[in-house]
Amino acid sequence: GAVVSQHPSWVICKSGTSVKIECRSLDFQATTMFWYRQFPKQSLMLMATSNEGSKATYEQGVEKDKFLINHASLTLSTLTVTSAHPEDSSFYICSARDRAGYGYTFGSGTRLTVV
Amino acid sequence: GDSVTQMEGPVTLSEEACLTINCTYTATGYPSLFWYVQYPGEGLQLLLKATKADDKGSNKGFEATYRKETTSFHLEKGSVQVSDSAVYFCALSERGYQKVTFGTGTKLQVIP
């Protein structure tokens, strides 16, 4: 079945640095990629939606200058957390919709800890 | 807007007990309904889905029936195992839209 590979699975970084998270669709072309953030003991909150070759659409309250999303190809989308702060520590998960639109496949998630 | 409400956890059951996790939804159209499972330290995996009223989704012994009259999609399993311990998310997606709306998740712990 469809697989989305997400890397890294966990990362620890210092305050003020930037972190890039990658999601790759391995055996299908992802026309749309979704980026979610999950706080402890809470549900997934959609941060942004990106379509290949166009700008991402951010949900209300999400800072687009802080969470940079790039979807340059049908198999790769990246989320860069810029100038990270401890409050950015969270679990980030990507999800891709396949070209036929049949379903959503999730990456394994990235645990970001900012110290 | 769309919303999903599911029972709060954690739910603790003994092995081989019956499981029901309630889920109700609010949607403007005719959504597709999903249950996702998240094992410790992992991402979400689709467990089952149903795309129209009265459809029953099933997988790994879990079942859920799309009930339009009660706007519900309760997850059931007749005999849980320790390996079923995870967080379960009910979710919906409106037709023609790309966004998936998730419930808050229900943690299930199965003890031997």
HSE at residue B111, side-chain half, CA atoms within 13 A, is 5
| Contact B14/A at CB under 8 A | no
Task: Give me the torsion for CA of B44, B48, B51, B55, rounded to 10°.
Answer: -160
Residue B30 has pLDDT above 90, yes or no: no
Alpha-carbon distance B31 to B48, whole Å?
14
- Residue with more model confidence, A82 or B96: A82
Question: Which of these ranges, A19-33, A96-110, B10-24, B62-76, has the smallest mean pLDDT?
Answer: A96-110
Alpha-carbon distance A44 to B55, whole Å?
25
Residue B82 has pLDDT above 80, yes or no: yes
In chain B, whose CA is at the least distance from the CA of A106?
A: B44
Alpha-carbon distance A38 to B66, whole Å?
26
Shortest CA gap A31–chain B (Å): 11
Chain A residues touching chain B at CB-CB below 8 Å: 6, 32, 34, 41-44, 46, 49, 93, 95, 97, 103-109
Residue B79 has pLDDT above 60, yes or no: yes
Share of chain B above pLDDT 90, in %: 73
Supply the pLDDT for residue A28.
84
Supply the pLDDT for residue A100.
62
CB distance B98–A109 less than 8 Å? no
As a whole number, the mean pLDDT across chain B is: 92
> Which of A33, A38, A54, A97 to probe by mutation at the B interface, max B CB count within 10 Å?
A38
> Which of B100, B101, B106 to probe by mutation at the A interface, max A CB count within 10 Å?
B100
Cross-chain CB nearest to A109 (options B42, B46, B93): B42
Interface size A-B, in CB pairs within 8 Å, comes to 41
Query: Residues B64-74: what's their mean pLDDT?
Result: 97
Which phi and psi (to 5°) does residue A35 adopt? Answer: -115, 125
Question: Which of these ranges, A72-76, A103-107, B90-94, B103-107, has the smallest mean pLDDT?
Answer: A103-107
Q: Which parts of chain A have pLDDT scores under 50?
A: none
Supply the pLDDT for residue A102.
59
Shortest CA gap B42–chain A (Å): 5
